[in-house]
């Protein structure tokens, strides 16, 4: 007796007596247990699908004051209904703007992975990073090669990733987070150390 056949027969007829006649080795208690198991599996699938997203939008920005200088990243993850699901800001220390931009992308892709989307739309105001990720520009800077490879590896984990260059005005949330990360670190450091 295959469980799937029993459930299919029950679903077709909605007649417990007929199903028990069709599968004589099946007892009412077995059928009840089978239905409970099926309900449990369906409930788990519904829970899982309600937390998964088919498409997520990832806004990333890196900021460096002085280039190189104090740097931070900002990441905003939104669903298809423009709801923000997660925000990330992190101080990086002293580095270049391009390193900060790649680090924001990497942190963002790592964060998006836990939500399990099939498709990710990446938005950044760094034309360099976007065009390098699309393969339109070569990565020649030795400091960026490793970061580029890491970002490409993370992007391969998704069914589809699209990279979009956007103007800074359309990336204000991520930009604000990157600058907040720098400001918070800078405020917490005594002036005598700066």
What is the reported pTM?
0.72
How many CA within 13 A on the CB side of residue 35?
A: 13
Beta partners for 124? 60, 165
Q: Both 29 and 77 in a single domain?
A: no
Q: What is the CATH number of the domain that holds 99?
A: 3.30.420.10
Across 1-5, 12-16, 124-128, 156-160, least confident range: 1-5
The predicted structure's pLDDT at residue 24: 82
Which segments within the chain are labelled E, that is strand? 55-64, 69-78, 84-95, 119-124, 160-165
**Element of type H or E holding 139:** none
Instruction: State the Cα–Cα distance between residues 125 and 73, nearest whole angstrom.
Output: 13
**Confidence band for 184, pLDDT divided at 50, 70 and 90:** very high
Q: Both 70 and 111 in a single domain?
A: yes
Average pLDDT, the chain: 87
Domain residues for 28? 3-51
Residue 193 lies in a domain: no
Residue 68 reports pLDDT greater than 90: yes
Instruction: State the Cα–Cα distance between residues 132 and 148, nearest whole angstrom.
Output: 8
Q: Both 47 and 64 in a single domain?
A: no
Instruction: State the Cα–Cα distance between residues 20 and 31, nearest whole angstrom.
Output: 8
Residue 45 lies in a domain: yes
Residue 17 lies in a domain: yes
What is the mean predicted confidence (pLDDT) over 117-122?
96
Residue 136 reports pLDDT greater than 70: yes
Q: What is the pLDDT of residues 84-103, one digit of tens each?
A: 999 999 999 999 999 999 99
């Amino acid at each position: 007796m295959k469980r799937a056949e029993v459930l299919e027969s029950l679903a077709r007829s909605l007649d417990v007596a007929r199903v028990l006649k069709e599968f004589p080795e099946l007892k009412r208690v077995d059928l009840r247990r089978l239905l409970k198991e099926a309900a449990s599996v369906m409930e788990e699938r519904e829970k899982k699908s309600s937390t998964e997203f088919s498409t997520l939008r990832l806004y990333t920005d890196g900021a460096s004051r002085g280039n190189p200088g104090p740097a931070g990243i900002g990441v905003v993850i939104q669903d298809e209904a423009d709801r923000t699901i997660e925000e990330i800001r992190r101080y990086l220390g002293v580095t270049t703007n391009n390193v900060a931009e790649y680090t924001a992308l990497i942190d963002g892709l790592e964060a998006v992975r836990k939500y399990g989307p099939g498709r990710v739309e990446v938005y950044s105001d760094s034309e360099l990073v976007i065009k390098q990720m699309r393969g339109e520009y070569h990565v020649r800077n030795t400091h960026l090669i490793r970061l580029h490879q890491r970002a490409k590896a993370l992007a391969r984990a998704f069914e589809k990733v699209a990279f979009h260059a956007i103007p800074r005005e359309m990336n204000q949330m991520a930009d604000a987070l990157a600058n907040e990360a720098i400001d918070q670190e800078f405020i917490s450091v005594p002036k005598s150390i700066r």
